[in-house]
Structure 1
């Protein structure tokens, strides 16, 4: 990542943190509803891992537990905190619009982080052998499964040394399968349903592989649970036909 993009990211995160801190000080004085509606309720709970983190091939238990406990659960906790603060911010008529905008940005960012991390972890625990309707669909969309995999890997490596996600998406509007590049948790194609997500933030591999991102991607592919991906794909197709 360049110095410019790093400075931009720090500035953006700083704005979100400032918004949260500012609303904290105003929350006590703002009128609070007896019960909060769902849009302002922070009751998300971490989703347990569906596999034994000590039995993955090439991804250590220490790495997976750190990723799940610190990065994923950190986003769950922050999302809950931000959503409860939005109600107080909305009631504070004197708050500058930028304050509310900072909270809404952080809400979007943390929502994306929670969703993508859950898709990432749910996609692990398999034997890496692709099968089912998703294999045929990828072959039809990309010419062959091998071509899809090569493009997915290339997209992942384009983020190595920086941050972001590589996401296999079914688009309900266009009816197509695509691999998308995402610089952060907020990049996603409109009408796109994520089927498989590869976390390319350094926290997802640096503990095991340092800067050797390609080896991490190799290990990740060996552990993909394609049955889960196939189930997501069939649900996406069904929803698009409804």
Structure 2
């Protein structure tokens, strides 16, 4: 995580900061940039937003299960937290190449799992991203080589469900 956070995320931030001066995005917030940009600006803004959500969803005291309304919504949609985890990991494992798997909600609070290629984020589809798992090889290759599913299974141990629920 240290390499991923310190090198990859910082590179996206630096690139974005170098790309937006003189554009209509110069003073825009990150979500607006992701919703309205394309090309290199979108890729770097998307990865910055995605990684911000990703890293802020972790805690050394994480793990367990969500509580409250988020837990109720997960149970209503998938029948149980275990079923949700299985579908989420299956979706993340099925992303071809690089990208993200997301738990997102619509304006009515309905949950769905989305798969996004590359720098994709469900915000571009009018959804609110709640939890995203990075399935790019840089997220796991040093620790898990080509075993993406093992990496995804381990992330549940550090998820800060209070932080995720706050986005719900």
Shorter-chain TM-score above 0.5:
yes
Query: Does the CA contact (< 8 Å) of 2:121 and 2:129 recur in 1?
Result: no
TM-fit CA distance, 1:106: 1.4
Residue 179 (structure 1) aligned with residue 116 (structure 2) = no
TM-fit CA distance, 1:143: 2.1
Q: Which has the larger radius of gyration?
A: 1
Listed as ranges, the gaps of 5+ residues in structure 1 are 1-63, 88-102, 234-242
Shift in CA distance, 105/168, structure 1 to aligned 2, threshold 3 Å: same
CA distance in 2, matches of 1:169, 1:82: 28
4+ residue runs over 3 A deviation? none
Residues 119-158 of structure 1: CA deviation (Å, up to 9, x unaligned)? 1001111431113121111001222222211110100111
After superposition, residues 1-242 of structure 1 pair within 5 angstroms as 64-86=1-23, 104-125=38-59, 126-133=61-68, 134-159=70-95, 162-172=97-107, 175-188=109-122, 190-233=125-168
Residues 63-112 of structure 1: CA deviation (Å, up to 9, x unaligned)? x111011111101111111101536xxxxxxxxxxxxxxx8421122111
Query: Does the CA contact (< 8 Å) of 2:104 and 2:129 recur in 1?
Result: yes
TM-fit CA distance, 1:113: 0.6
Query: Does the CA contact (< 8 Å) of 2:50 and 2:121 recur in 1?
Result: no
SS of residue matched to 2:118:
coil
Shift in CA distance, 151/175, structure 1 to aligned 2, threshold 3 Å: same
TM-fit CA distance, 1:215: 1.5
- What TM-score do the two structures reach when normalised by structure 1? 0.59
CA distance in 2, matches of 1:216, 1:129: 17
SS of residue matched to 2:62:
coil
Matched length? 153
- What TM-score do the two structures reach when normalised by structure 2? 0.84
CA distance in 2, matches of 1:148, 1:140: 10
SS of residue matched to 2:8:
helix
